Structure 1
Amino acid sequence: MQCSTQQLIAQPITPETFQPYGQVIFASEDGAVYGPDNAQLHLDQGIPRFYIVRLEKLGRRFSRITRHLKCTQCLGSLAGKPWLMAVAPPGDAAQPALDQITAFQIPGDCFIKLEVGTWHAGPHFDTDFIDFYNLELSDTNQVDHDTCNLINQYNVEFIITPM
């Protein structure tokens, strides 16, 4: 049985529209004190890891979505390059609800902080590669990588389309 492909229209990201999934962080004035506009991090379950990763072109199609239950994760592109990310809100279920998966267009002048347990697929982009900075725990990709295979679970894959 062939799986179906559903289109997700990626909306421009704002702090308000992204709030169910985490935070959008834009530049602040030098010397500004810590407050709610700063990334509210949860990295107390291990050793934080801040690194740059080069991601090769993934295109805009995905059939797996992942969450991390032990930490927040921050992602931002280098060189001001825009990108796309699909997300679904955190929850207790073993997989996200299909109708809660949404997508965002993320400009290169901000970064996102994914709340603990936020389902995410991406970053997605059409260029050959983009370098991203990533803040998570040192072992996130080994021990805190809960993935839902959308084809096996729902017989569906998604393609993200920018607005």
Structure 2
Amino acid sequence: MANWCSNRVEFKGSIAQLSELAELFNDMADREKSSNTGQLPGFVTAQTGYLFDIRWEDDVLYYETRWTPNISVMKHIAIYTDTSFVMQYCEMGNLIYGEARFDDGRFSDIVLEIEDFDQYCYSFDTETYLFEGMEYEILDEILDILLERKTAVALLKVENNIN
């Protein structure tokens, strides 16, 4: 049985483009419910990356994929609809947590590495996560801090032309 990767994608585009995406994903959600199978848009020819539990709410797409995020499918959709996106994804069973961006033909994908996950621990005594001398009740707060730091470092490298 597959582990499920949670995905959240916020597309950027005109009102007309976002309406087109809303119709696309709402139709896919309806097809998924009636067929009980994962979905891909008709213009995507991939054999993997199917979307499950599809929801379009307030111009944001929420869905699940098997094992890993389907970033290439989202890139294909963005190119096809001439939009951009920011995609957050998480599958903690395999320590996958990251953010992909596609804007004006530029793509980036920042993902936490094993070393990042080693920076915190769980305290059974306090039922909290310990990170840099502080206690957190919600793990996502720590993961977001780590991801923001990696993103900032990556942006600095791009700005300074460092590999």
Task: Report which of the two has the higher share of strand.
Answer: 1
Task: Report which of the two has the higher share of helix.
Answer: 2
**TM-score, scaled to structure 2:** 0.25
**TM-score, scaled to structure 1:** 0.25
Specify which structure has the bigger relative contact order, considering alpha-carbon pairs within 8 angstroms and separated by 6 or more residues: 1
Instruction: Pick the structure with greater CA Rg.
Output: 2
